[in-house]
Amino acid sequence: MNMFVRGAALLIAAAFISECLEFLINMVLARELGEEGLGHYMALLPTIVFLFVIASMELPISVSKFVAEKEEGYHRSMLQQTLKFATMMTVIFLVAAIVIFPLLSVFESYHPAVRWLLLLLIPIVSFSSVARGYFMGAQHMGKIAIANFLRRSVQLLLLLVVFQLFLFDTEVAIFIALCTVVATELVVLLFLLIYFFVGMKKMKGTSTKSISQPDVRRALLAVSLPTTGLRIFHAASFAIKPFLIKIALMNAGLMESTAIIQYGKLAGVAFTIGFFPGFIAHSLLTVLIPTVAEAYSKGDMDRLQRLLTNVMLGTFVYAVPSVLVFYFFANELTSLFFEASPAAVYLQLLVPYFFFHFFVIPMQAFLIGLGMMKDAFYHSVWATVVSYVLMYVLGSMPQLQMEGIIIGMNTGVVMLTLMHLLTIRYKMQEPQSWKLSRA
């Protein structure tokens, strides 16, 4: 438990700094890209997230779970086989992307080089995922914390330098902003790989047991496939969201340019502010997955129960004051981006969405650690379907517009939270003998 607390505290501290930097990054983007440019930038981000999910194959989660469950003697062999697997998948994804990218209409309103720029993310994300997974599973949270800090600090520095020295039109400015994303991921990859191969070298004398490629592949895919399916669904639904919102708002009577601006303020302002405390939830997720997997593999259900109780109480402690600040200081917070912005109202209406989101993330970590990836996937499917139907129907009403869309979002996250919680509680209350036989 002490290792869990230390790792969580370290990640939370580093993530807080990173979120502050992310806040500044979005302020710089809002200033340099303008309202419509920010809307276009935010509309492309879901596609980039989707690419991240595909390229990573959720190896950080599967590798960390495998490392946490296996004794150290197998680690070196397992990581060598994982690198071979990642190399093979990278080649496959690159070939597929080269064929598919020219056919995608999502890139049509952007600089022609954007689609080829994003190709670089595939090998970068794939190999950094292996290193991240090892450090997570081995509880080397300091390196994860530094990598997360580098991701934001380098991007902010690049944005400030480039936009201070040069002037660009909107299309080129968006392209430059995306270049900083790729450059930042490359810096993070180099940092992680240096320490990864140093660790591999140290394992030569202690990690001598071998494990076959098929065994490693099966162990990784047993976690990666359902978890990647879950993330692909999230990423795909996230990629659809800006277009769904735009169509709904246009049905409600708004012009297309106005709908894009409205989405930019929702995603670029309200989401940036509302998700700010989420760094705590994501830090807990990183530490919880290997911790829960290890405890469950040993049949230590008392430890799991204590973890669940403490994590839920801790989440409540920071979630309540966070959403109160969002509600009562919405105007002051959103004015940091744009003056007299409707994003203030969006932020207030989204208070339930952010509050329950803070609980959903650690609950997903429990489901993954307990081997219930399929349950997490089905929950997300049902919640998203209900949410998107409501978003479209209510958002298309002239009297509701964006307010109707937010009602749909709030409904979906409440439904998802309840399904996660009930499933975890049911799993924890199963007969002890069954749990020990599964461990």
Q: Are 68 and 141 in contact (CB under 8 A)?
A: no
Q: For CA atoms 195, 201, 205, 207, give the dihedral sign.
A: positive
Which one-letter amino acid corresponds to residue 234? H
Domain count across the chain: 1
Question: Which among 134, 179, 137, 130 is positioned nearest to 159, based on CA atoms?
Answer: 179
Q: Name the residue range of residue 300's domain.
A: 2-438
With both helix axes pointing from N to C terminus, report the angle between 121-137 and 75-100 in degrees, rounded to the nearest 10.
160
Output the pLDDT for position 430: 61
Token match 């047991």: residue? 209
Task: Count the residues in the chain.
Answer: 439
Alpha helices in 252-372 (DSSP H): 256-265, 271-274, 278-297, 301-328, 330-334, 343-349, 351-369
Task: For residues 419 and 28, give the distance between their C-alpha atoms in angstroms, rounded to a whole number.
Answer: 38
pTM tops 0.85: no
The helix/strand/coil state of 141 is: helix
Output the pLDDT for position 156: 94
Task: For residues 356 and 152, give the distance between their C-alpha atoms in angstroms, rounded to a whole number.
Answer: 26
**Positions of E strands within 75-153:** none
Here the contacts of 13-17 (C-beta below 8 Å, separation 24 or greater) are: 13/145, 14/145, 14/146, 14/148, 14/149, 14/283, 15/145, 15/148, 15/279, 15/280, 15/282, 15/283, 16/279, 16/280, 17/149, 17/152
What CA–CA distances, in Å, run from 428 to 92, 223, 275?
A: 40, 20, 29
Output the pLDDT for position 435: 42
Task: For residues 187 and 136, give the distance between their C-alpha atoms in angstroms, rounded to a whole number.
Answer: 19
Output the pLDDT for position 407: 97
Output the pLDDT for position 208: 66
Here the contacts of 80-88 (C-beta below 8 Å, separation 24 or greater) are: 80/200, 81/211, 81/212, 81/213, 81/216, 81/217, 82/130, 82/133, 82/216, 82/220, 83/127, 83/130, 84/213, 85/213, 85/216, 85/217, 85/220, 86/57, 86/59, 86/126, 86/127, 86/129, 86/130
pLDDT digits (tens), the chain, 439 positions: 567 777 778 888 888 888 888 888 988 888 888 877 887 888 788 788 888 888 988 888 888 888 877 777 778 888 888 999 999 999 999 999 999 988 888 788 788 888 889 899 999 999 999 999 999 888 888 898 899 899 999 999 999 999 988 888 888 999 999 999 999 999 999 999 999 998 888 887 675 677 777 888 887 888 788 878 877 887 778 778 888 999 999 999 999 888 888 888 888 889 989 998 988 998 888 888 888 888 888 888 888 899 999 999 999 999 999 999 999 999 999 888 777 677 899 999 999 999 999 999 999 999 988 888 889 889 999 999 999 999 999 999 999 999 999 999 999 999 999 999 999 988 887 644 434 334 3
Q: How many CA atoms lie within 13 A of 114 on its CB side?
A: 23
Output the pLDDT for position 76: 84
Task: For residues 260 and 243, give the distance between their C-alpha atoms in angstroms, rounded to a whole number.
Answer: 9
Question: Which among 388, 368, 363 is positioned nearest to 230, based on CA atoms?
Answer: 368
DSSP-derived letter for residue 268 is: I
Token match 């105007």: residue? 331
Task: For residues 376 and 423, give the distance between their C-alpha atoms in angstroms, rounded to a whole number.
Answer: 9
Task: For residues 118 and 413, give the distance between their C-alpha atoms in angstroms, rounded to a whole number.
Answer: 30
Q: Are 362 and 284 in contact (CB under 8 A)?
A: yes
